[in-house]
Amino acid sequence: MNLAHLLERAALQDPARPAIFSGTRCVATHSDWAFRAAKVGAHLRSAGLAPGDRVVLFMRNHPRYLELMFGAWWAGLVVVPVNAKLHLKEVQWIVENSAARWAFVTADVAPDPAALTGLDGVMDAESAACSAWLEAGAGLPAIEERAPTDTAWLFYTSGTTGRPKGVMLTHRCLMTMGLTYFNDVDPIDPQDAIAYAAPMSHGAGIYAIPHLMAGARHVVPASGGFDAAELFALGRQLGPLSLFAAPTIVKRIVDEAEAQGLAPQQCGESFKTIVYGGAPMYVADIQRALRTMGPRFVQIYGQGESPMVGTALSRAHLADASHPRHAERLASVGVAQTPVRIRVAGSDGAPLLPGEVGEVLIQGDSVMAGYWRNPEATAAAIRDGWLWTGDMGALDADGFLTLKDRSKDLIISGGSNIYPREVEEVLLTAPGVAEAAVVGAPDPEWGEIVMAFVVPQAGAALDAKTLDAFCLDQIARFKRPKRYEFVEALPKNNYGKVLKTVLRERLPGGS
C-alpha cells in the first residue's frame, strides 16, 4: 500500500483532467502531476535516498507542494511537513530529530537554504534546478511498494509545552482518513475543487488525499494563504470551493460575506463546503455562520495523532434546527466517525456514563503508530490500543461528544472544577465582546481563580462590572471570571488556535 498509487490511478483513468491550479491557472493535469512526482522520486533515489528515509517540506502553500509530497511517496520516502512560520533554528531541530536526508524549501521561509545543515541536499522548490527535476532526468521508476504499517507522514506537534514530538502516520492511517471523508464529512464530485488556504503542512494538506481519490481539482490561492476576498472571487471563477479552516478563519470568511452584503445563496456560488476544526467552534459563531452563509459547514474533531478522524458534526446535524437538543448539538463536535470508536474514560480507562466528564479516547486505523523514537511518550499516549487525547469531554446518550477543554486547561478553584470553554461560551454572547479566552490564575486563597482575556468589538466600551453582571445571569457564581483583562488581540498559532500558554505567561508568576 503506497499513497502514490492513488495518483497513478488518477493519471491512468483521466490523464487530461485539470488537477492542480495556481489561482485560476491550471498548472498540472493528473498526467502532469504523476509524471512530475515520478521524476522527483527518480531524482531522490539517484541521490541515494532509500525507502523510509525522511524528506522535509519547509514551504509556504505552493502548487509544487503536492508534486513533491507525492514524489517522495513515489520513492517510498517519508514526508516531514514543517510549519512555514517556524524559526530556522526550530526547523533545524526537526531536521536533526527526524534524521532527514533531504529538504525542499521556498525562499520566503528559508532565504538561505544552506543554513539548514546535516542534509544530503536542500532545494528551493521554485528554482530552475527543481523545475528541471520535475521535467527531465532518468526514466520513470515504478512506485516503491510499501506496507500499510510503513510511515508516510512524520508530523511534528506544535510543542507548546516543550519540544515537539514526531507523530508517525502510516499509509494505512492516511488511507483511512481519505476514505472516511466520503462517508462522514462530504461526498466529493470530480468537478469539485479544494482550496488550500490553511497550511498544507497540517490537515489541509492531507485533505488532498480524498480529493485525489475522487479526481477533483486542487487550488492553491495565488496569495499562498488565506485571504477571504480572494477565496470568494476564486470560488465564483472556478466553481464553489471546499476547504478546511480553523474557527478563527471561518469567522473571517463570515465577516467578508457580511461586508460584501451576500445572501446565503450568493455565498453558495463561492463555497460548497467549509470543514472546520482544530478547536471547537463557539455556538454563537456557528449560528452566525449558518445565518449568513447557509448550510455549508461540517465540523470535524481529530488530532495530529489521529489526523482529521475522531468525530464529525455533519451538515445535516447542523441544519436540524427542529431537534429538541439542537443547541446542545451545536456545542458538540458530533459523533464518532465510521472507522473509529470514541470513549470518555476516567483515569483507569473505564468508560464513564453519559454526561460524565473524562478524557477522550480514540481507537481505530487512523491512530498513529507512535511517536518517532520516543517509546516513553508512545506508551503514555497509546494504552491497550486506545489513544489518550488529553482532551476532556462528555458523551451524551446519543453519542454526541462535547469537548470541555484540554486536561491541562481545567481550572480547579476552591476544589470545584471549572471548564474554561463553558465560561468563554457565555462571554461571547455578551454585547460588545469579539473574542474571549479564559485561563486559571494562581490565587493564595482559592488555588486558582477564573481569569478572562477579552477582545472588545470595534467601538464597544466594556468594563468588568458589566461583564460580571452578565455572567452572573448565565452561569454559577463560582464559575464567573474574578479578573478581566481587555486586550486588542489574542495570541494564536499558525492554525488559529489561541495560545493559552502565552496568556498564562502574562499572569503574575505565570509560566
CA distance 510 to 477: 25
Is residue 58's pLDDT more than 90? yes
Q: List for the chain the helix, strand, coil content (%; round to 5).
A: 35, 25, 40
Q: Parallel, antiparallel, or unpaired for β 447-456 and 401-406?
A: unpaired
C-alpha cell at 102: 533531504
Sorted by sequence, the CB contacts under 8 Å of residue 235 that are 6+ apart come out as: 195, 241, 269, 270, 271
Give the integer Cα–Cα distance in Å for 312 and 317. 10
Cell of 9: 490511478
Residue 385 CA: distances (Å) to CA of 122, 248, 340, 363, 462: 38, 33, 12, 6, 49
Q: Which three cell numbers stand for residue 301?
A: 474533531
Q: Is the pLDDT of residue 509 over 80?
A: no
Q: Taking a C-beta distance cutoff of 8 angstroms, is the pair 84, 59 a contact?
A: yes
Indicate if the pLDDT at residue 160 is higher than 50.
Answer: no
**What is the spatial distance between Cα 268 and Cα 240, in angstroms, rounded to a whole number?**
7
Q: What is the pLDDT of residue 254?
A: 97
Query: Residue 425 pLDDT > 80, yes or no?
Result: yes
pLDDT one-digit tens code per residue, 336-387:
999 999 999 999 999 999 999 999 999 999 999 999 999 999 999 999 999 9
Domain boundaries, the chain: 4-8+30-146, 410-505
pLDDT at 280 over 70: no
Which residue has better confidence, 9 or 139?
Answer: 9
Please give the CATH number for the structural domain made up of 4-8+30-146. Answer: 3.40.50.980
- Any idea which architecture 410-505 has in CATH? 2-Layer Sandwich (3.30)
pLDDT confidence of residue 195: 98
> Is a pLDDT exceeding 50 seen at residue 441?
yes
Quick one: cell of 263?
445572501
Report the alpha-carbon distance of residue 218 to residue 241 in Å, rounded.
10
Mapped to the 3 state alphabet, what secondary structure does 85-113 carry? CCCHHHHHHHHHHHCCCEEEECCCCCCCH
**Res 246: pLDDT:** 85
| Residue linked to cell 464529525 | 312
C-alpha cell read off for 203: 490537515
Task: Taking each helix axis as running N to C, give the angle between helix 128-135 and helix 30-46, from 0 to 180 degrees, rounded to the nearest 10.
Answer: 110
> Quick one: how far is CA 160 from the chain centroid?
16
Query: Which one, of 125, 102, 124, 101, lies nearest residue 113 by Cα?
Result: 124
